[in-house]
Amino acid sequence: MTEERTLILVKPDGVNQGHIGEVITRLERKGYQIEALKVTQATDAQLRQHYIDKVDKPFFPEIESYMHEGPIVALVASGTNVISVFRRMAGQTNPSQAAFGTIRGDFGRDWPDGLIRNVVHSSDSVESAEREIKIWFAELK
Ligand SMILES: Nc1ncnc2c1ncn2[C@@H]1O[C@H](COP(=O)(O)OP(=O)(O)OP(=O)(O)O)[C@@H](O)[C@H]1O
């Protein structure tokens, strides 16, 4: 059991389709704390840092285009094992394969342009969370 925090992004499709409240509600219903929250526009520099392991992938321009489609909501949530539990709440990367009952399974879908839009991001480890929190919340310790 570990007290930890995670970086969650409600991506542009999640914001555009009105799922900010749902993501926050699901976090709060599970008993997690919201430590920080902002509406923002992702910059190129933030995306290159955030997706540092994907910058060289052929689909990185698709990620950039998707993440620039509109505002995002960045939040820091904390609680016991929040990282792994929220990853399960979010569901699999591809929203059409994500289980119903997960955020991606309930609100994500395939799009005719082939881009993978999957509503939310969440950190996958303590190290990633601390690195990602610095990218989106430079003002936080
Ligand atoms: N093959 C692909 N083609 C296009 N985009 C992709 C592909 N694989 C991943 N992506 C995009 O890159 C993001 C990060 O991929 P990753 O494999 O880290 O999935 P994830 O951990 O489930 O998602 P995220 O990091 O956004 O929480 C995905 O959310 C998706 O938007």
Give pLDDT, residue 1.
59
Give pLDDT, residue 140.
87
Q: Read off the pLDDT of residues 53-76 as tens digits, 9 standing for 90 and up.
A: 999 999 999 999 999 999 999 999
The CA distance from 47 to 38, in Å, is 16
Number of domains in the chain: 1
Q: What interface predicted TM-score (ipTM) does this complex get? A: 0.88
Do the domain assignments include residue 135? no
From ligand 1's centre to the CA of 49, what distance in Å? 14
- 59 close to ligand 1 (CB < 6 Angstrom): yes
Q: Read off the pLDDT of residues 83-135 as tens digits, 9 standing for 90 and up.
A: 999 999 999 999 999 999 999 999 999 999 999 999 999 999 999 999 999 99
Assign residue 37 the CATH number of its domain: 3.30.70.141
Structural domain range at position 9: 3-124
Tell me which of 116, 123, 132, 136 to substitute to probe ligand 1's pocket, judged by most ligand atoms within 8 Å of the beta carbon.
116
Token representation of residue 132: 């990602």
Do the domain assignments include residue 19? yes
Residues in the chain: 141
Atom of ligand 1 nearest to the CA of 118: 29
